[in-house]
Structure 1
């Protein structure tokens, strides 16, 4: 077993260690009486084929059903008995599992978590039982009008990309899935080169790293793969693409306007769009909230967001409003974007938002779980922590011209997607 340790620059604290089998360990000591152990895999719904859409999320459920060393439910019982907590999450481009425990319990729980994710037994009886749970989750999601509108918007925004598919999958796809298909998916993706293991808490970095390395150092899969499907970005909208539908479950109509924008691989543009989203529609001081809700009373709620994926993102503005105001609100949103394109934003406006975002970034990095999630996200998505460490500096280096140019370049006022879900 060989270790290559690198101390990142840019005022960083964690130590990054790469094992000879490709596993990355990120460890940091924090003076907090806890340790967060966070295991990230570079696998989510984006790497699935259409025939197994939803498999990554289904597998996340099944991971907790036991391993070679643990029977079904035993891990959660051990965690609970020690006063620790565990959970997991699946996205388009990653899946991660975590345990937060006391420092004295880390050496016992971390190897069990690694055994659970890497040596899952995927028992047939639990596979059948858990499939019913996932199918019920899908049915509940279909009954959520807000989620339905967002899924329709993603299908318009990404007609050729896997980002348009639901992370949960569909009943038609999940129902016929077999345990063998899940086993093959697990063996292909859950392997050291696809993993980032983060341990942050009140233990020496050397101990945090060694405990993981002792378990993982010699592990290799037969036919170990690191292949990921190549995803090509969609072209920008060149016309206005609309979809209107009626949903009787809605009490108020909903509208989502969207633009295709760069992904995380174009980080500088992404950062400018993040700030632009806040200026337009995040918080009570944002332009759209003040104008459309507080002054004109045209909407019940409105917000803007820049949703990031690796290859391509979506900048969207969502509102809840009376059906009779749909056309007027759409035009008012376009007017606000046009105003920024023509006149830019003020230095005071930019400074307020940049300070707010920078402070949120700092405040959300104070706990071991915050740090472990930050490291897992950046390293799994970008293969480096440099942009995490330089985030606030990059943010504060943005100029009013950067924001204006981002609006001009990406938020075309005559080419975008829009979904309008109307109540009866």
Structure 2
């Protein structure tokens, strides 16, 4: 078994690869009595073939429905008994099953998670019952104008690319999904080299590795390069501009204006973080002050960003009255254009850098945040940086860096998605 330190010799983050190809990544936080653990699958909705649309999210539901030794109720009771937080999430590039618990409960939770992930029964009658649950979940999302807006924006900018599809697919696709397709997905994706176990908290690396090894010995040994060979080819998307309008009888008009962003691991990602905060990252941000405080046009206005292994998006979300919507769009674009053409003042960027630096360190006091960053770095195949290095990267950002990046992003395609009563919004110019 190969073990290495991830942030230099003697660091608190370590990585081991078991003979079955499972990667175990931990960060020890000695003062904590708790631990956040998660099994991450290197597979998301963008990896689905069209006939299998929705199978990644459907499978996430099914793994809570029982194993040969545990019923669905027993799984739920075991999680609840710890008093912590347990759940699962499906994204466009990965699936995760996680739990936060006391260090004393880590052995039980680790065995429980692996029992679910490796020995799920995937019973066909449960599959049919859960089909109805997922259709209702999608119906609930369809009633939420914010969910509809974000899905409309992705569909607009990624068009026919898999990143443009909803993670959970459509209700029609779920109704058509076959049980055999789900089984094929499970057997192909839930294999050693595509599985990562990430943990952060009071437990030691050796203890966690031993627990994972004991729980996964049923898997066959694999070669060291199998993980890279097993991920399917992912076609790189192109960001498309334009306007997508969905009419919905709501009190507010939801708006997303966006431009191409940066992929995970891009060298300018820290500059983007500062730009994010400058335009819409808090109460003192330019757009919050301009749109909410000075003009009273919106309750909520903030930056958004999506990062994938090979692409990204950056933009602004706002909710406003239909009659003010075009004015808000114009103000967003004017402010973005200003940052792209005029270098901000040193004092303004210094304040933003201090804000981002503080948020970075405060965020790392959470075991869940540390577990997430361990897994994201592993799945994205980018180096894990120490808190000191993260701070230094943020503090190295200058006003000129911000304007240069803003100009580059703003020069790309512009996209506008909107949901609400108004159907007349346009992109200026």
C-alpha deviation, 1:84, in angstroms: 4.5
In 1, distance between residues paired with 2:262 and 2:190?
28
Mapped to 2, the partners of 1:403 and 1:217 lie a distance apart of 50
Aligned to 1:423: 421
Residue of structure 1 equivalent to 2:390: 391
Q: Report the Cα distance in structure 1 between the residues aligned to 2:279 and 2:194, rounded to whole angstroms.
A: 37
Superposed, 1:292-307 pairs within 5 Å as 292-307=291-306
Q: Name the counterpart of 1:243.
A: 244
Please give the alpha-carbon distance, in whole angstroms, between the structure 1 residues aligned to 2:171 and 2:354: 45
Partner of 2:52: 52
Determine whether 1:89 maps to 2:89: yes
- Quote how far apart the aligned CAs of 1:89 are: 0.9
Tell me how far apart the structure 2 counterparts of residues 262 and 81 of structure 1 sit (CA, whole Å): 41
Residue 335 of structure 1: CA displacement?
Answer: 1.8
Counterpart for residue 5 of structure 1: 3
Tell me the distance in 2 between the aligned counterparts of 1:171 and 1:130. 13
Deviation of 1:236 (Å): 6.0
Cα separation, partners in 2 of 1:421 and 1:22, compared to 1, 3 Å:
same
| TM-score, L = length of structure 2 | 0.90
Superposition CA RMSD, Å: 2.3
Task: Decide whether the 8 Å contact of 2:20 with 2:192 is kept in 1.
Answer: yes
Is it true that 1:42 corresponds to 2:34 in the alignment? no
How do residues 1-400 of structure 1 correspond to structure 2 at under 5 angstroms?
Answer: 3-10=1-8, 12-30=11-29, 31-217=31-217, 219-220=219-220, 226-235=230-239, 237=241, 241-248=242-249, 250-265=250-265, 267-386=266-385, 390-400=389-399
Q: Does the C-alpha gap of structure 1 residues 222 and 395 become closer, same or farther in structure 2, counting only changes over 3 Å?
A: closer
Quote the Cα distance in structure 2 between the aligned partners of 1:78 and 1:9.
Answer: 35
What secondary structure sits across from 1:268 in the alignment? Answer: coil
SS at match of 2:198: strand
Structure 2 CA distance for partners of 1:367 and 1:418, relative to 1, 3 Å: closer
Q: Distance in 2 between matches of 1:336 and 1:86?
A: 41
Deviation of 1:221 after TM superposition, in Å, equals: 8.4
Which 4+ runs in 1 deviate beyond 3 A? Answer: 81-85, 221-225, 386-390
1:193 & 1:52 partners in 2: Cα distance?
22
In structure 2, the CA distance between the partners of 1:103 and 1:296, relative to structure 1 (3 Å rule), is closer
Mapped contact 1:103–1:202 kept (Cα < 8 A): yes
Quote how far apart the aligned CAs of 1:41 are. 1.0
User: Against the structure 1 CA distance between its residues 79 and 247, is the aligned structure 2 distance closer, same or farther, given a 3 Å change threshold?
Assistant: closer
User: Distance between the aligned counterparts of 2:139 and 2:420, measured in 1?
Assistant: 21
Q: Distance in 2 between matches of 1:257 and 1:198?
A: 35
d(CA) in 2 for partners of 1:84, 1:338: 46
Give the conservation status (yes or no) of the 8 Å contact 1:374–1:388: no
Query: Structure 1 residues 310, 387: closer, same or farther in 2, change over 3 A?
Result: farther
Gaps of 5+ in 1: none
Shift of 1:423: 2.2
Alpha-carbon displacement from aligned partner over 1:3-53 (angstroms, at most 9, x marks no partner): 111012358411111123321111233221122221111111111122222
CA contact under 8 A between 2:261 and 2:306: conserved in structure 1?
no
1:387 to partner: Cα distance: 7.6
- SS of equivalent residue, structure 1 residue 340: helix
Distance in 2 (alpha carbons) for counterparts of 1:383 and 1:216: 26
After alignment, is 194-203 or 218-227 more displaced?
Answer: 218-227
2:314 counterpart SS class: strand
Residue 190 of structure 1: how far off its partner (Å):
1.0
Mapped contact 1:76–1:86 kept (Cα < 8 A): no
Kept after mapping to 2: 8 A contact 1:278/1:305: no
Distance 1:199 1:83 in 2: 18
Shift of residue 180 of structure 1?
1.5
Q: Distance in 1 between matches of 2:200 and 2:7?
A: 18
Residues 110 and 212 in structure 1, CA contact (< 8 A), matched pair in contact too: yes
Q: Normalising to structure 1: TM-score of the pair?
A: 0.91
8 Å CA contact retained: 2:3, 2:15? yes
